[in-house]
Structure 1
Amino acid sequence: MATIQQSVIVPYDQAAMYTLVDHILAYPEFVDWCVASREIERDAKHVKGALTFEFHGVQYEFSTYNRLKPYEQMDIDLIDGPFEYLTGHWYFKALNNNMCEITLHLNYAFSVIGLSLLFEPIFKRMAHHWVDAFCQRADEIYGHDSN
């Protein structure tokens, strides 16, 4: 099993950042290599969604069940995709002066050795860009420069 964890402090409140992460239909507009997204089901406490990524001509889709704790946390569990296992969390921690710390934590393993050899380097690279993509998107929408 592989683990990815990335945290950053941003000059936006936790509700603003949570809202960006929760709006999966917008991911293809700003998340590198995400070519499609869809919501399968949504209510106040959960969302089932699917993301399609393409990298150097290789495309894969995975779907997750995300338990929502608005403005604080999203818990992610695999429904379907090229993984044997995928679970994770987005955390949104309020800080002083309308700032927050966002953290993405993922644990995963690919379902087949061949897939692991092909997709793991791609997935790691993509996942490490996700937090940065949300920070850049926040700058575009909310008008600050987080650098």
Structure 2
Amino acid sequence: MIEIRRSALVKYSPAQMFDLVNEVEAYPKRFPWCAGAEVLERGENMLVARLDLKFAGFRQSFTTRNIVDPPHRLHMSLVDGPFKSLDGVWEFIALGDSGCKITFALDFEYAGKLGGTALKLGFQGLASRMVEDFVREAEKAYG
């Protein structure tokens, strides 16, 4: 099992950061590592989405069920994909009027040996930089 933990302090509100992370359909326009994104189902406090990722010379698709608690938390769990397990949480904690703290925790394990170490390392690297990528997008979107 690979565990990734990242955090950042930003000058943006929890709502602003939550909206960026939750706007799955915009990922292909925002991030070079996302080749496609589709929301398959949307409910009051959840969505099911498929992401098509490209990294380290590989392309992989997976589907997650995201349970949302706007603007504080987004919990992702695996529906389908090349993983034995995948579980992730984004949290957005207000820091008064000065912004928020973003935390991202992701635990995953690949199923089988397809792609081997290169695939695992590529996805691990991508997941590790996601917080930085969303912070950059916030700077573009909100100034």
Range class of TM-score, shorter chain: over 0.9
Give the conservation status (yes or no) of the 8 Å contact 2:90–2:104: yes
Q: Distance in 2 between matches of 1:22 and 1:135?
A: 14
1:56 CA drift (Å):
4.4
Aligned to 1:22: 22
Q: Distance in 2 between matches of 1:67 and 1:100?
A: 21
- Per-residue deviation, residues 30-89 of structure 1 (Å, max 9, x unmatched): 223111001001122101001001124421100000101110101110000110000010
Q: Distance in 2 between matches of 1:129 and 1:14?
A: 19
Structure 2 unaligned spans of 5+: none
Relative to the length of structure 1, the TM-score reads: 0.92
Give the conservation status (yes or no) of the 8 Å contact 1:82–1:115: no
Question: Aligned pair count?
Answer: 143
Aligned to 2:97: 97
Q: Distance in 1 between matches of 2:49 and 2:84?
A: 18
1:118 CA drift (Å):
3.4
Question: SS of the residue aligned with 1:113?
Answer: coil
Aligned to 2:72: 72
In the TM superposition, 1:1-147 aligns within 5 A as 1-143=1-143
Relative to the length of structure 2, the TM-score reads: 0.95
Structure 1 runs of 4+ aligned residues shifted over 3 Å read: none
Q: Which amino acid aligns with 2:16?
A: A
Q: Distance in 2 between matches of 1:97 and 1:116?
A: 46
